[in-house]
Structure 1
Amino acid sequence: MGGLEVRELECFLVLAEELHFGRAGERLYVSQSRVSQLLRSLENRLGARLIDRTNRRVRLTALGERFRAELRPAYDGLKDVVERTRAEARGVQGVLRLGFQGQVSEPVMARIDAFESRFPGCATEISEIPLSDPFGALRRGEVDAAIVLLPVQEPDLVVGPTFSRQQPNIAVSLRHRFAALDSVSAEELAESELIAPAEPAPPYWRDAQTPPRTPSGRPIPRASTITTLQEGITRAAANRGAMLLCRPCAISHGRRDIAFVPVTGLPDSVLGLVWPRAAATARVLAFADVLADA
């Protein structure tokens, strides 16, 4: 291997996908400068430039393209060997119980399939958890881990891989005036009542999903509270308020009587894998690794 470091190879592959040093750093949980340092070290070891970087764009060199094409299958094969060995050592067997708010998106299902292929001795059970109680099933031991909307500020829970960072959408009836718009600004939310998750979801979490005020401080009225995502979608269809939700939920709940309109001026919605700090089983940690790969 000529002294090559696996972290340098991993950094190159992520950067080759993102073509952006900041986003690559986010995926690798390192700073942008650390990404640059790892790339320079790899290029110095190889004696050639793999990536051209200017003020306007980042792109692979011709050699970098060939290196990526040949490195990817070898790297994936090495990871599979390591994961299989780790699974045998940790005993990744039995059943992994996963909770989800709403429906499971296709990319997440793909990672579940990848997990079961990598760990054939472990089956996965999927169950829906109430939108209004994102952490209850975890604390009651009904699921081993859950994919929930961030933020999560619970000291007894661990936030693992985060993903699906996307612009929020608002679900409204076709009779609602927002339905005819290409997008809705955060300030315009003050002009419509929002459907909000009910308790026992913590106040900070409910406010993140249904902001009480616009960025300028105007109050946003609340129409009602709901327990499940499907309940909120139904109320929006009946024109009994509007509901903010993440883009994957909007795609999976496509209906002819509802418009899903992008919202500008709000933080992106982000999903995360969460599990109890005191119950980090080998199955949960192995699934977190597979999810983080994507």
Structure 2
Amino acid sequence: MPERHEIETFLVLSEELHFGRTAERLHVSTARVSQTVRKLERRVGAPLFARTSRRVEPTAIGRQLAEELGPAWRAVGAAVQRATDAAHGQAGELRVAYAEPAAGQLLFGVAELFRGRLAGWEVVLREAPLLQRLDLLRAGEVDLVFAEFPLLSPELVMGPVLVSEPRMLAVPAGHRLAEAASVAPEDLLGVPFVRLPADLPESFREDRGPRSVLGGGAPGGPSSGGGPSGAAPGGGPSGSVAPRGAPAPRPSVGEASALGPVGGTLNEVLMLVGAGLGVFPVGAQTRRYHARPDVVYRPLAGAAPVEWGLLWHRDRSTAAGRAFVRAAQELLGAGEPDQP
């Protein structure tokens, strides 16, 4: 692998196209620039610059290397600078990704409280679908993600539950369940569920499938993520269903639904629901921000709530990130501040 000074010399020379100016910027001699470039060319196995007495031009290979290496090198420098600033409590930028309008409103309030405590720090909010948010977090392009739980992944940490809302079922407007006061598991025999992409964490896909309606709970679901441990909405035991006349046996997950189509985003999921291709569990706020003439939202009897919180990368916890989580907990009254 090239050494740091080789990469830096190559990129500066690619910008300046002049050995003297490159040497001035790097505070080294012109001979040192030439030696470094020749060493890098030996590593690559091809000339990176065409040199004449009057001009310096990158070769095709040199131009390609500069185009691919430049952004990555700048990203490394920016990441190191952010880490240094965070370690010394200096001004910096905290990047938080979210999706839903309700989440955006909430995060604006948290950001205001956070900025009031960390002078000079800015919060950049970035909207993105869930799968893209997780990719951005893994790539280090955002520091925190606000999302629905559970999202179990070895490299990600789920913070404390910040918001809990009733779980409802999105159904087609013309479906027999659209007129129901509430939906129980026995109502869903043979009803297809719209599915989520396979590259989302299994814990999240299960929590948005038949298992969440039947009260079985997904791995790391609400019962283990800070939600109510002994009671469900309606006052009965967790996962219980209010009786409707004579007791009915609880259907199994396999009996409860058929396989429906896959929706990559919430808008895609609701489009599929509206087209009559399946149903899908959502949080209650969806009714307000995603009202559609072809979709009706009905309460799910005995279902665990939908929970929201902040996630961060296990290897990139920072003082600024911890301060933002504490501000969110305090603003939302979500219990004692935790230390991510």
Bin for the TM-score computed over the shorter chain: 0.5 to 0.7
Q: Does 2:269 match 1:235?
A: no
What CA RMSD, in Å, does the superposition of the two structures yield over aligned residues?
2.5
* Structure 1 residue 190: Cα displacement: 3.0
**Residue equivalent to 1:290:** 327
Q: 1:260 to 1:273 in 2, by over 3 A?
A: same
- 1:51-90 correspondence to structure 2 within 5 Å: none
> Do residues 266 (structure 1) and 297 (structure 2) align?
no
Match of 2:95 in 1: 97
Residue matched to 1:253? 290
SS of residue in 2 equivalent to 1:184: coil
Total equivalences in the alignment: 208
CA gap of 1:92–1:244, structure 2 versus 1, over 3 A, is: farther
User: Hey, what's the Cα distance between the residues in 1 that align with 2:130 and 2:186?
Assistant: 25
Confirm or deny: 8 A CA contact 2:192 2:278 kept in the other structure: yes
Q: What does the per-residue CA deviation read over 1:192-245, in whole Å, with 9 as the maximum and x for residues that have no partner?
A: 211121121122321112135835313322311111111112222222221211
- Residues 202 and 179 (structure 1), Cα distance of their counterparts in 2 relative to 1, 3 Å cut: same
Asked whether 1:214 is paired with 2:214, we answer: yes
In structure 2, C-alpha distance between the alignment counterparts of 1:163 and 1:186, rounded to whole Å: 28
Give 1:126's aligned residue.
Answer: 125
Gaps of 5+ in 2: 1-84, 216-249, 333-340
Partner of 1:160: 159
Q: Which has the higher strand share?
A: 1
- 1:283 is paired with a residue of what secondary structure? helix
2-side partners of 1:181 and 1:118: how far apart? Answer: 48
- Alignment check: 8 A CA contact 2:114 2:327 kept: yes
- Return the offset for 1:271: 0.8
- 2:150 pairs with 1:151: yes
Q: 1:193–1:132: structure 2 CA closer, same or farther, 3 Å change rule?
A: farther
Deviations 1:226-279 (A, max 9, x none): 111111122222222212111223322123332111112222111121101110
Taking a change above 3 Å as real, the CA distance of residues 102 and 267 of structure 1, as seen in their structure-2 partners, is same
CA contact (8 A) 2:208 2:280 kept: no
**d(CA) in 2 for partners of 1:197, 1:131:** 11
**Matching residue of 2:260:** 223
Q: Secondary structure at the match of 1:264?
A: coil
Matches within 5 A, 1:130-145: 130-132=129-131, 135-145=134-144
How far, CA to CA, are the matches of 1:231 and 1:128 in structure 2? Answer: 16
Following the alignment from structure 2 to structure 1, what is the Cα–Cα distance between the partners of residues 167 and 199?
23
Judged with a 3 Å threshold, the aligned counterparts in structure 2 of structure 1 residues 115 and 134 are, in CA distance, closer, same or farther, namely same
CA contact (8 A) 1:138 1:144 kept: yes
Please tell me whether the aligned partners of residues 152 and 205 of structure 1 are also in contact (alpha carbons under 8 angstroms).
yes
Deviation at 1:184, TM superposition (A): 0.9
* Contact 2:170 2:298 (8 Å CA) reproduced: yes
Deviation at 1:117, TM superposition (A): 3.6
Distance 1:210 1:231, change over 3 A: same
Give the Cα–Cα distance (whole angstroms) in 1 for the partners of residues 292 and 116 of structure 2: 34
Contact map agreement 1:190 1:220 (CA 8 A) in 2: yes
Asked if 1:171 is matched to 2:208, the reply is: no
> Conserved in 1, the CA contact under 8 Å of 2:196 and 2:264?
yes
Query: Which aligned pairs between 1:276-287 and structure 2 lie closer than 5 A?
Result: 276-287=313-324
- Paired residue secondary structure (2:206): helix
- Could you tell me how far apart the structure 2 residues matched to 1:112 and 1:189 are? 41
Q: Deviations over 1:56-114 (max 9, x none)?
A: xxxxxxxxxxxxxxxxxxxxxxxxxxxxxxx9985263222112243343334322332
Q: 1:118 to 1:243 in 2, by over 3 A?
A: same
Q: Read off the aligned partner of 2:126 and give its amino acid letter.
A: S
For 1:117 and 1:272, locate their aligned partners in 2 and report how far apart those are by CA, in whole Å: 21
Alpha-carbon distance change, 281 to 219 in structure 1, aligned in 2, over 3 angstroms: same
Q: Check whether the contact 1:189–1:214 (CA below 8 A) recurs between aligned residues.
A: no
Structure 1: where are the runs of 5+ without partners?
A: 1-86
Kept after mapping to 2: 8 A contact 1:197/1:227:
yes
Runs of 4+ in 1 over 4 A off after TM superposition: 87-90
| Contact 2:182–2:299 (Cα < 8 Å) also in 1 | yes
SS of the equivalent of 2:281 reads strand
What TM-score comes out, normalization by structure 1 length? Answer: 0.63
- 1:67 matched to which residue of 2? none
